[in-house]
A and B are shown apart, each in its own frame.
Chain A
Amino acid sequence: MADSPSNNEYWSANIRLVTICLVIWALCSFGFGILLRPLISGIAVGGTDLGFWFAQQGSILVFLVLIFFYAWRMNSLDKQFGVDEE
């Protein structure tokens, strides 16, 4: 079971999913919230700019969505590849 092809496929699907999630994770916090803030400063949100919102609230909300999306997607990948818990 250790090196079966479906396990490898399962693992690369997991790595792909984690990579996508972490790119979004970095883009919203380090990107929009900090380094790219000047680029989106034109977009006004409640008396300030979108970057400020991302830094104080937006990134936390994105983190939440990411974790639940990952959990849902992985749990269905487990079933798809037959490696879920009986």
Chain B
Amino acid sequence: MDQTTLNFIFVGASFALYFGIAIWARAGSTSEFYAAGRGVNPVVNGMATAADWMSAASFISMAGLIAFTGYNNSLFLMGWTGGYVLMAMLLAPYLRKFGKYTVPEFVGDRYYSQSARVVAVVCLIVISTTYVIGQMAGAGVAFSRFLEVESDSGLIIAACVVAVYAVLGGMKGITYTQVAQYCVLIIAYTIPAIFISLQLTGNPIPGLGLFSTMNEGLPGGVEAGVPLLTTLDGLLTDLGFNEYTATTNPWLMALYTLSLMIGTAGLPHVIIRFFTVPRVADARWSAGWALVFIALLYLTAPAVGAMARLNIITTMWPNGVEGEAVAVDDLPDWFRTWEVTGLLGVEDLNGDGMIQYYNAGSEAGAALAEANGLEGNELVTFNRDILVLANPEIAQLPGWVIGLIAAGGLAAALSTAAGLLLAISSAISHDLIKSTINPNISEKGELMAARISMLVAIVVATYLGLNPPGFAAQVVALAFGLAAASLFPTLMMGIFSKRINSKGAVAGMLAGLVSTCLYLFLYLGWFFIPGTAMLDSSQYLFGIPPTHFGPIGALFNFIVAYLVSNATEEVPQEIQELVESVRIPRGAGAAVDH
């Protein structure tokens, strides 16, 4: 059986599973559509949250991101997990106690203001839409790489699959498909990692293998018994690359980490997952379980990154850096397979029949070139996603593992897309239609409105995925920056302060929103349109890149909200009582059937 057929079987089987769950978990009421009837077990919710959170980027790109910069990109590992500590202690249990369906609904009620609610809806839609574009595109890419389907048709197939289970099942259907998707993606991620770790270090747990010593009999002049990271550092230095474990700029790294942490905690599609558990105590446990399931992948990713990087180097230099490089005719099969996709590319620049991979721009690289008559790095294309995608082939695993990776990549993209689409559609049907446009809408009518909003959101996301704005990469920075600067501070102050009033909250949100957008637009172009940037990277304020701005926007939000609230009226008595009641778990059960 050829590889494409095998991939089709795996992906087809996983889709059949999702459809089955969708039919089993149909939503019959708005409570089920928005919050899965608040009957989700905390461990199950933790698993669904992990799938909701881990996107195509976490699955396909993160190991590569870490592999290419080593220590410095650890900020993604800490940033995308540390946010759960903030969420568990500062937001999730209290918002669960509040017991409503959407994030803007809390903002509107706590700040007794329809305009606050609408500003929150705008923030939510901008954050979630920018995110969902990447997921749709990711699903299209996974289709085209593994199933030899055109990327565009792949995207449309993915959209149809999500449409079936999200429109039918709402949060309830999404929750249980996310659980299935988590299982698929974690198995797909860890199996190749375990084998690679065994091959290189003899340790079956990749996270421990990363800090273990090398096995005997490995190619590339690798010495047995030397720690893996020391070996990698040595090889990279010889080839003129930066050391894997070296630090570049600790202060900027800390700021970016903080930006990702606060942004994570403020992402509405993750927050609403905690509305689905039965009790406040469950929301606390559930945040812990979510991080357990996320950590299974996040502790493996740095090992995958380092080991795959080492494997690539020893493939290119099978006799060690001092010996002869790999001959063009001796390149392994997987290398040829992936060359076709354009993710890898070689060119024998000096015509010696061998492929030399090194950093031509460095001193060590120049010396290497001088001694061996090299005319530049000959591994001309080296896409970082290859480290995960080609892992099963690098580890010489059977074809079904590759099929599993295909299903896993799609599971990661679809589960996150569905969560985002639910956040968008519930904000539209519940916060705009039900609360602003037509408050008298019946329960049945609202459920129908929610389904239609979901369908419209999917169509818009598909359109944007097919015609991605040229700035898709920067837009993700916008999503995190906005979540950090607008929603997180406003939600946190709503719970931890009784003094912040509606004027303060609206002014604070706008301050965070405007300052963050302004900083991004000044350096990346107005609305990210190329050529409209007014300042360049040499003019960063205090050297801070726009991607790192989130915590500063959040600081503006806090300060403005505090100052404006203190200069204006006190918070009404009944709102102070609302805050008091949000702070204690007792009575959460009553909120279920509001």
Contacts and interface: CB of A to CB of B under 8 A. Distances in A.
Interface of A: 1-3, 7, 10-11, 14, 18, 21-22, 25, 29-30, 33-35, 37, 45-49, 52-53, 55-57, 59-61, 63-64, 66-68, 70-71, 74-75, 78, 82-86
A40 B35 CA distance: 46
A67 B584 contact: no
Interface in B214-229: 226-229
9 contacts: A2-B581, A25-B82, A59-B82, A60-B77, A63-B81, A63-B291, A78-B280, A78-B584, A85-B586
A19 B254 CA distance: 20
A7 B292 contact: no
B429 to A, nearest CB: 29
B74 interface: yes
A82 to B, nearest CB: 8
Give the most central of B77, B251, B279, B581: most A CB within 10 Å. Answer: B77
Contacts of A75: 281, 284
Nearest to B252: A34
Contact of B280 (A52, A53, A85): A85
A14 to B, nearest CB: 8
B298 interface: yes
A78 B250 CA distance: 40
B257 A30 contact: yes
A83 to B, nearest CB: 4
A55 B90 contact: no
A-B pairs with lowest CB-CB distance, top 10: A47-B227, A46-B211, A55-B74, A71-B284, A47-B229, A47-B230, A83-B584, A67-B288, A2-B580, A56-B302
B207 A57 contact: yes
**Highest count of chain B CB atoms <10 Å: which of A56, A82, A86:** A56
A84 B284 CA distance: 13
Contacts, number: 153
A22 B584 contact: no
B337 interface: no
Contacts of A48: 211, 227, 229-230, 233, 245
Given A33-B78, A70-B88, A71-B284, A3 B586 contact: no
A47 B244 CA distance: 11
Contacts of B230: 47-48
Interface string B487-505: 0000000000000000000
Contacts of A49: 245
Say what secondary structure dominates the interface of chain B.
Answer: helix
A64 B288 contact: yes
B329 to A, nearest CB: 35
Contact residues on B (Cβ < 8 Å of other chain), bracket: 35 or more
A30 B257 CA distance: 8
A42 B483 CA distance: 38
A86 B82 contact: no
A67 B88 contact: yes
Contacts of B86: 22
A78 B585 contact: yes
Nearest to B573: A2
B281 A18 contact: no
B84 interface: yes
A86 B577 CA distance: 20
A79 to B, nearest CB: 10
A15 B93 CA distance: 14
A86 B385 CA distance: 50
Interface in B194-248: 207, 210-213, 226-231, 233, 245, 247
Interface in B278-327: 279-281, 284-285, 287-288, 291-292, 295, 298-299, 302
A37 B579 CA distance: 40
Nearest to B93: A74
Contacts of B19: none
B85 A35 contact: no
A7 B394 CA distance: 59
Contacts of B74: 33, 52, 55-56
Given A29-B78, A56-B71, 8 more contacts: A22-B86, A45-B211, A47-B211, A47-B213, A63-B85, A67-B88, A70-B88, A85-B280
B580 A7 contact: yes
Given A52-B245, A64-B292, A68-B288, A21 B85 contact: yes
A22 B585 contact: no
Contact of A35 (B207, B250, B285, B576): B250
B85 A66 contact: yes
A22 B230 CA distance: 33
B467 to A, nearest CB: 37
Contacts of A53: 211
B572 interface: no
Nearest to A11: B583
Contacts of A74: 93, 281, 284
Given A34-B257, A75-B281, A59 B245 contact: no
